[in-house]
Amino acid sequence: MASAAAIDWASAEGLDLSHFWMPFTNNRFFKANPRLFVSAKDMHFTTADGRQVLDATSGLWCVNAGHGREAITEAIREAAGVLDFGPTFQLGHPLPFRLASELAAMMPAGLDRVFFTNSGSESADTALKMALAYHHAKGDSTRFRLIGRQRGYHGTNFGGMSVGGIGGNRRRYVSQVWGVDHLAHTHGDAVRFQRGLQPGNGGLAEELEELVALHGPETIAAVIVEPVAGSTGVLVPPQGYLQALRDITRKHGILLIFDEVITGFGRVGDAATAAEVFGVTPDIVTLAKGLTNATVPMGAVVASREVHDTIVNGSPAGIEFFHGYTYSGHPLASAAGLAALALYRQEGLFARTTALAPVWEEAMHGLRDCPNVIDIRNVGLVAGIELAPRDGAIGARAMEAFHRAFDAGLLIRVTGDIIALSPPLIVSEAQIGEIADKLRTVLHETA
């Protein structure tokens, strides 16, 4: 067996592709046409064949401060040399306490109790269980229903999958968490037209009242939404929508969970959360991705004092919240988180999103005349460019654009026929121009 010292980190020479079963990948296609990155720095990946690829997606919406940031990698190295692992069940070590304090200080007022996970999926399931535990601790154990949204994405574990609203993620796994219902998504003139609503009036949130009337408020534990749905193509909420959800949930004693795995850490504006950017405070926020600038897997669930205290003080003696992960608050992840948050602060990266947003908007909307573009949406440093499907083959056109872009040195993401863009917050104005120029060429070629 090769020792670690024998690995040439930056080489793909002699690689056997057969054993790694790749996630969310057409494995047969990939293994016939492998596209491999071997290193990354700032705004670029380097491919195995030595090309530079401009990262217009922050990896998977996660490398908010750009790649290879020394301050973070150095913190990880140092922490590993001091404490490689420390349990956090009935024992502790300082790093997750420090990180939780730093994180709490960045959250909307009132949200300051932090539970650590290892991913966005784990954060979603943790938040849902927290909501159930909260009502149970209050003696309200008939509140078991969870409400998600069509085109919502909350990861791939059973809870997140069940409240999520992507057919492909759900249908083949017949079993779902019981008692879940879904709001309609906030996008699509067809939906608005059917309901006689105008874009921008926030009316769709009122549908929650219909679900409450249908099921009875005493059966509903929580509503979970992404403030801006990311993975299904950047669906920006109508004005007033999130506030309306807040008002309705509060009125009925239902917890509101914002899944901010994508929208957190400056993605949509000058704040650590979209909650703050949109001025709506939920009861629970889920985070991951940018928390460590994606260097070490880590997620977090930030709960209100009320949710925390109800569970912790309202439970009989013993463990109050019967939930957790071996790696909750792992020293390396905590060190990476502390360094990433420091970097965001020192470099004022969230403010940079707001400063660059008009440049980004202009560049993205400048693509509206490109062939097959039917919609462009943006907020902060994120954008969705929707293409007309090609002859009923949903996703084929965008997938072609993805491959062409990659060959032209640009990393984009596609979901169905939507191109999703979310560059690291260190992106320069010139690089925004480069992203738009490359996309323009790609969209013309793809036509």
CA 169 to chain centre: 16
- The rounded distance, in Å, linking the Cα atoms of 110 and 250 is 15
Residue 160 CB, shortest distance to ligand PMP, in Å, is 6
288 lies in the site for ligand PMP, by CB under 6 A: yes
When asked if residue 431 is in the footprint of ligand PMP (CB under 6 A), the reply is: no
Q: Which stretch binds ligand PMP (CB under 6 A): 82-90, 113-121, 265-273, 389-397?
A: 113-121
Nearer CB in complex with ligand PMP: 133/262: 262
**Cβ neighbours of residue 374 under 8 Å, at least 6 residues apart?**
386, 387, 388
- Binding to ligand PMP by residue 124, rule CB under 6 A? yes
Q: How far is the CB of 100 from ligand PMP (least distance, A)?
A: 19
Residue with smaller CB distance to ligand PMP, 273 or 446: 273
Q: Which is nearer to ligand PMP, 62 or 364 (CB)?
A: 62
Looking at the Cβ atoms of 192 and 289, the one nearer to ligand PMP is 289
Question: Which of 119, 150, 186, 328 contacts ligand PMP by CB under 6 A?
Answer: 119
Taking a C-beta distance cutoff of 8 angstroms, is the pair 262, 420 a contact? Answer: no
Binding part of the chain for ligand PMP, among 102-110, 150-158, 234-242, 386-394 by CB under 6 A, reads 150-158
Query: Based on C-alpha coordinates, what's the Rg of the chain?
Result: 22
CA distance from start to end of the chain: 49
CB of 79 or CB of 294, closer to ligand PMP: 294
Q: Report the residue number, 120 or 238, with the smaller CB distance to ligand PMP.
A: 120
Q: Are 237 and 274 in contact (CB under 8 A)?
A: no
Residue 65 contacts ligand PMP per CB under 6 A: no
By CB atoms closer than 10 A (0-12, 13-18, 19+), residue 387 is buried
Q: Does 153 bind ligand PMP (CB under 6 A)?
A: yes
Q: Which is nearer to ligand PMP, 285 or 343 (CB)?
A: 285
Site residues for ligand PMP, 217-276, by CB under 6 A, read: 226, 230-231, 259, 261-262
Residue 142 to residue 123: CA distance in whole angstroms: 23
Q: How far apart are CA 32 and CA 339, in angstroms?
A: 39
Residue 328 in contact with ligand PMP, rule: CB under 6 A: no
Q: Which is nearer to ligand PMP, 119 or 304 (CB)?
A: 119
Query: What is the rounded distance in angstroms from the CA atom of residue 156 to the CA atom of residue 166?
Result: 11
Q: In the stretch 27-46, what mask flags binding to ligand PMP with x, by CB under 6 A?
A: --------------------
Choose the binding region for ligand PMP from 117-125, 201-209, 210-218, 239-247 (rule: CB under 6 A).
Answer: 117-125
DSSP 31-93: HHS---EEEEEBTEEEETTS-EEEESSHHHHT-TT-B--HHHHHHHHHHHHH-S----SS---
Q: Which is nearer to ligand PMP, 59 or 203 (CB)?
A: 59
Residues 6+ apart with CB under 8 A from 328: 88, 96, 115, 116, 117, 118
Residue the block writes with tokens 């509206």: 368
Site size toward ligand PMP, by CB under 6 A: 14
List the Cα angle 107/111/114 in 5-degree steps.
90
C-beta of 24: minimal distance to ligand PMP in Å? 9
121 binds ligand PMP (CB under 6 A): yes
Pair 177, 162: CB distance under 8 Å: yes
Q: With binding defined as CB under 6 A, does residue 120 bind ligand PMP?
A: yes
- CA dihedral over 427, 428, 429, 433, signed as positive or negative: negative
Residue given tokens 């309705």 in the structure block: 248
Q: Does 380 bind ligand PMP (CB under 6 A)?
A: no
- Residues engaged in binding ligand PMP (CB under 6 A): 119-121, 124, 153-155, 226, 230-231, 259, 261-262, 288
